[in-house]
């Protein structure tokens, strides 16, 4: 399993939200590039970089930070505010290896098809789940689409790897929604899932690996060191 550290950005600062709520934002006294170098030196090969400000505003706001962090050598998965072909192209030109698409995936085939024609090999669908429904626009709006339904539709469009975030677990440090990932892997056994939300201790990572997750995102547990660097090295 690939272990992917997260850097979430808002106003050029490293932050974490609690259950996706912007009014419950923790700001960390970390310089993004310095923190990224620390993570890279630990041995991480991938980086989960989310532009929370961009997700809220509907356009990328941290392309320079993306460029700086990509220059360290990471395989960067970047998301937040990517709503147009130009936005996606800009992110790729600034160093993203792959881009997460969330809101655009729910806007219908007419909006999605031109993007797929140009960038399908670079896209990882980002599916943010709350009570079984898909949330979009930086977790500000809840749709009537179930995550199972959306994944099925996206498989028909040729996608094989998905980031699935449990919003109700995100930032709480109470463990991941293991039943969610166990169920998804049971329903879609030939596809790859990246788990995010609530990963707190090393045992969480081991369980997700046992279930068959392709990757897992580590955020607050790294900032607040509920998983130590020494533990991380054992599973990289």
Name the residues annotated as catalytic.
Answer: 8, 128
Furthest C-alpha separation in the chain: 48
Which 3-state string (H, E, C) describes the chain? CEEEEEEEEECCEEEEEECCEEEEEEEECCCHHHHHHHHHHHCCCEEEEEEHHHHHHCCCCCHHHHHHHHCCCCEEEEECCCCCHHHHHHHHHCCCCEEEECHHHHCCHHHHHHHHHHHHHHEEEEEEEECCEEEECCCCEEEEEEHHHHHHHHHHCCCCEEEEEEHHHCCCCCCCCHHHHHHHHHHCCCCEEEEECCCCCHHHHHHHHHHCCCEEEECHHHHCCCCCHHHHHHHC
Q: Are 187 and 162 in contact (CB under 8 A)?
A: no
């Amino acid at each position: 399993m690939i272990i992917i550290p997260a850097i979430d950005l808002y106003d050029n600062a490293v932050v974490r939200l609690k259950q996706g709520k912007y009014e419950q934002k923790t700001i960390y006294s970390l310089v993004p590039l310095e923190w990224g170098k620390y993570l890279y030196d630990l041995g991480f090969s991938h980086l989960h970089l989310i532009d929370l400000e961009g997700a809220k505003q509907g356009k990328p706001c941290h392309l320079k930070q993306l460029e700086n962090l990509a220059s360290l050598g990471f395989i960067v998965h970047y998301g937040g505010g990517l709503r147009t072909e130009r936005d996606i192209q800009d992110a790729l030109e600034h160093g993203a290896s792959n881009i997460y698409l969330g809101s655009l995936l729910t806007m219908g085939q007419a909006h999605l098809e031109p993007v797929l024609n140009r960038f399908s090999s670079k896209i990882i669908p980002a599916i943010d789940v709350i009570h079984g429904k898909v949330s979009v626009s930086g977790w500000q709006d809840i749709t009537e689409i179930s995550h199972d339904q959306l994944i099925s539709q996206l498989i028909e469009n040729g996608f094989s790897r998905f980031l699935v975030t449990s919003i109700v677990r995100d930032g709480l440090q109470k463990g991941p929604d293991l039943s969610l990932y166990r169920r998804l892997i049971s329903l879609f056994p030939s596809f790859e899932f990246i788990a995010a939300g609530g990963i707190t201790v090393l045992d969480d990572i081991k369980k997700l690996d046992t279930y068959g997750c392709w990757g897992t995102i580590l955020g607050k547990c790294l900032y607040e060191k509920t998983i130590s660097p020494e533990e991380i090295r054992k599973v990289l």
